[in-house]
Structure 1
Amino acid sequence: MPKRWTNVHGAYYYQVPKGLESAWDGKKKFRLGKTLPEAYKVWADRIGRTDNVRAVGDLLDRYALEVIPGKAPSTQTQNTASLKNIRTFFGTAPLSEVKPMHIYKYLDWRPAKTSGKREIEILSHAFTKAVEWGYIEKHPFAWQLRIESDAPRTRYVEDWEIVECLSIDSKRKKGSILAVQSYIRVKLLTGMRRGDLLRLSMSDLQDDGIHLTPNKTKKSTGKRVIIGWSEELREAVAMAKAARPVMIGPFLFCNRSGECYIDEATGRAGGWESLWRGFMARVLKETKVTERFTEHDLRAKCASDAETLAHAQALMTHADSRITDRIYRRKPEIVKPLR
């Protein structure tokens, strides 16, 4: 957090420097807000833009004030946590003195290598903003680094494993196991991201198909997709409707109160994550499946089972087919021999 910030009883406060109380409603400790996004917004409105930026820590302050609040709630949380480690290593370094060698030293210093790479991505974006804001003339390291990316996950969920998952008996007539099983069916047919599938509303189910605006690109490209109906998809959606614990509600997948599983303030889906963990525990205990798989693996199965890369890319709603091919197409390529 920025200097002089504290978290007390679930809210964020600013400890006002002595003599500046008049600028903060006469208070020595000013309440900024209950959540980090709210606190950053109030902070930014109060102090305006930070123009006296000399060190990396100053740059990160402005980045936290103006850039992070515009990201998705879950990304905000991750970025804010990442800034702590970045500040520890780079906080007092002058902007003009950061070189590629310091980035490599940072990665050596961080025990969690994957997290370290994500943190460098955030630092790189902060320096991109520094160029935009006029603090430096050019990015000090973006085009000079050669950081190896992590190997993509290769877990491919076999068809027989899906059959095993769908064979589990439900102890309830609504929700629970039936909800997860219908969710799996819809996901394998459409390849939707978890957030899009859990946000799917009944009004999105129209005569010509499922109308989808991916949440990931809603604020950027605004790309819209219509997934046409097939008999299998209609049947899967019908099962999802029948499994809803609340029949009158706006969401296809909802909790017992009829509400969306996703908390839009945080981007988390705690209730659904608990439901999925419980389902996978039963899968491993009651079926022949021995290796756990994730929801992301199901999305990859959808892409892998598509007949062509172009079809897989369309299902994944990816702008670049290379992402689809490298990360989501997990089945071996079948190559014909020469005659």
Structure 2
Amino acid sequence: MKRDPLPRGVFPKGRWYYLVTAQGNKRIWHKLSLIKDGLPALYAALAEARSQAAGILTMPALIARWEREVMPAHDQKTQKDERSRGKAIAAAFEDFTPAQVETPDCAEFLAQFKSKPRTFNAYRAQLREYMRFAEELGLRPAGTNPLQAIRTKATPARSRYITDSELRRIKVAAMRGDDGRPTRSGAMICALIDMAYLTGQRIGDLLALEWSAIQRDGIVFQPSKVRGSTAARVLIEWTPKLRDVERRLRELRKARRGFAPQVFTTQDGKAYTYWGASAAWQRARRRAGITDCTFHDLRAKALTDKEAREGMSAAKTMGAHATEAQTADYVRHKSARKTKATR
């Protein structure tokens, strides 16, 4: 009778399976599991032995290694969110090795977020990524990710559309502080808001925009979100309003003390961070009395208005989306769609 193939380096001896490693010319036998307990027990013991050999004894150690090796490739805001979720996951799975994490353990942890679909999905995705990383390191058998059996939760479509009037009020509020006096950052934040609306790009890509991307035919963006997939680039061609924003930005650059390669800079000439720009947006929105809108809603407004004027294909191109279905998620209907009665 043909036996199932054993993992590399594993051999039966007596009643036990052993992992055999080499130290120079010497062979070291590490006891794994009883042969009678079968391959599942063998794989669990093997994963544990390998985790110990790699110095990864618990989930917190795995998470720490993931943050050192994988997370640096992500953008600043994503890293901050991942670090926060990572702390909660590490605390919940403190006594687990990567091989010990099973689907019921993950379901029990995620249950606390069941009333918050987006939070639930974010934690599920991050925990799933940790388990993928564990498989990559050989700390779990391939194809045993325990999150595969847990479905994502449906999230309600966001319908917030910022009106032209609201946008004007936010920009006015950005120019003046709570005391009614002009703010130091107002002109730059207004230029950022206008650029976001006119180009339909994400705030991270706007803040990363360098002067070298501003060319004769327009402004070239390569959205960071698609660099690892479609690697799409989009050229936003000049319009009179976009040219006006460029002119204002060049005047602001001359007035700044530094000359960073980034287009959007603080008063001292340093590149704006996500958190700095976001805080300025929130202050302006609050002073304007505008509720329930985010900076990302400017992208939705841009793509919605583009779709209304030029059609879904044009909006898809502006959004650098692979499919029109992705663009449709951004389109916010300002009024009810019109159609005639059946007869």
Q: Given the two structures, how large is their TM-score scaled by the length of structure 2?
A: 0.69
- How far the C-alpha of 1:220 sits from its partner, in A, is 5.7
- How far the C-alpha of 1:169 sits from its partner, in A, is 9.2
Do the aligned partners of residues 248 and 147 (structure 1) sit closer, same or farther apart at CA in structure 2, a change above 3 Å counting? closer
- Match of 1:306, SS state, is helix
**Equivalents in 1 of 2:234, 2:66: separation in Å?**
33
**Equivalents in 2 of 1:131, 1:302: separation in Å?**
41
Q: Which amino acid aligns with 2:191?
A: S
Q: Does residue 141 in structure 1 map to residue 158 in structure 2?
A: no
Do the aligned partners of residues 320 and 52 (structure 1) sit closer, same or farther apart at CA in structure 2, a change above 3 Å counting? farther
Where does residue 253 of structure 1 map in the other structure?
264
**Equivalents in 1 of 2:150, 2:60: separation in Å?**
22
**Equivalents in 2 of 1:176, 1:71: separation in Å?**
27
1:231 equivalent among 237, 240, 254: 240
Deviation sequence 1:217-264 (CA, Å, 0-9, x none): 4466543221111222212322333445428734432211222112xx
2:287 equivalent among 282, 288, 313: 282
Matches within 5 A, 1:312-331: 312-326=315-329, 328-331=330-333
Do the aligned partners of residues 275 and 110 (structure 1) sit closer, same or farther apart at CA in structure 2, a change above 3 Å counting? closer
> Which stretch shifts more, 329-338 or 224-233?
329-338
1:269 equivalent among 251, 272, 275: 275
- How far the C-alpha of 1:145 sits from its partner, in A, is 1.5
Do the aligned partners of residues 101 and 323 (structure 1) sit closer, same or farther apart at CA in structure 2, a change above 3 Å counting? farther
- How far the C-alpha of 1:168 sits from its partner, in A, is 5.8
Are the aligned partners of 1:68 and 1:76 in contact in 2 as well (CA < 8 Å)? yes
Matches within 5 A, 1:28-107: 51=54, 53=56, 55-107=58-110
- Match of 1:295, SS state, is coil
Q: Does residue 126 in structure 1 map to residue 130 in structure 2?
A: yes
Are the aligned partners of 2:174 and 2:183 in contact in 1 as well (CA < 8 Å)? no
- Match of 1:206, SS state, is coil
- How far the C-alpha of 1:298 sits from its partner, in A, is 0.9
- How far the C-alpha of 1:207 sits from its partner, in A, is 0.5
**Equivalents in 1 of 2:103, 2:168: separation in Å?**
50
Q: Which amino acid aligns with 1:51?
A: A
Where does residue 27 of structure 1 map in the other structure?
none
- RMSD (CA atoms): 3.2
**Equivalents in 2 of 1:228, 1:299: separation in Å?**
17
**Equivalents in 2 of 1:79, 1:170: separation in Å?**
33
Are the aligned partners of 1:280 and 1:292 in contact in 2 as well (CA < 8 Å)? no
- How far the C-alpha of 1:166 sits from its partner, in A, is 4.7
**Equivalents in 2 of 1:292, 1:151: separation in Å?**
15
Where does residue 150 of structure 1 map in the other structure?
155
- How far the C-alpha of 1:131 sits from its partner, in A, is 2.5
Identity of aligned residues (%): 27
**Equivalents in 2 of 1:67, 1:314: separation in Å?**
30
Are the aligned partners of 2:266 and 2:272 in contact in 1 as well (CA < 8 Å)? yes
Are the aligned partners of 1:174 and 1:243 in contact in 2 as well (CA < 8 Å)? no
Where does residue 8 of structure 2 map in the other structure?
none
**Equivalents in 1 of 2:182, 2:112: separation in Å?**
53
- Match of 2:322, SS state, is coil
Q: Which amino acid aligns with 1:299?
A: R
Structure 2 spans left out of the alignment, 5+ residues: 1-51
Are the aligned partners of 2:60 and 2:91 in contact in 1 as well (CA < 8 Å)? no
Q: Which amino acid aligns with 1:298?
A: L
Q: Given the two structures, how large is their TM-score scaled by the length of structure 1?
A: 0.70
Q: Which amino acid aligns with 1:59?
A: L
- Match of 2:206, SS state, is helix
Do the aligned partners of residues 95 and 201 (structure 1) sit closer, same or farther apart at CA in structure 2, a change above 3 Å counting? closer
> Which stretch shifts more, 82-91 or 328-337?
328-337
Where does residue 211 of structure 1 map in the other structure?
220
**Equivalents in 2 of 1:63, 1:276: separation in Å?**
32
- Match of 2:151, SS state, is coil
Q: Does residue 183 in structure 1 map to residue 185 in structure 2?
A: no
Q: Which amino acid aligns with 2:161?
A: Y
Q: Which amino acid aligns with 1:197?
A: L
Where does residue 296 of structure 2 map in the other structure?
296
- Match of 1:257, SS state, is coil
**Equivalents in 2 of 1:141, 1:319: separation in Å?**
30
| Count, aligned residues | 279
**Equivalents in 2 of 1:156, 1:108: separation in Å?**
32
The structure with the largest alpha-carbon Rg is 2
Deviation sequence 1:277-319 (CA, Å, 0-9, x none): 33223322xxxxx435221111111111122333222222233
Structure 1 spans left out of the alignment, 5+ residues: 1-48, 263-267, 285-289
Do the aligned partners of residues 76 and 165 (structure 1) sit closer, same or farther apart at CA in structure 2, a change above 3 Å counting? closer
**Equivalents in 1 of 2:63, 2:188: separation in Å?**
43
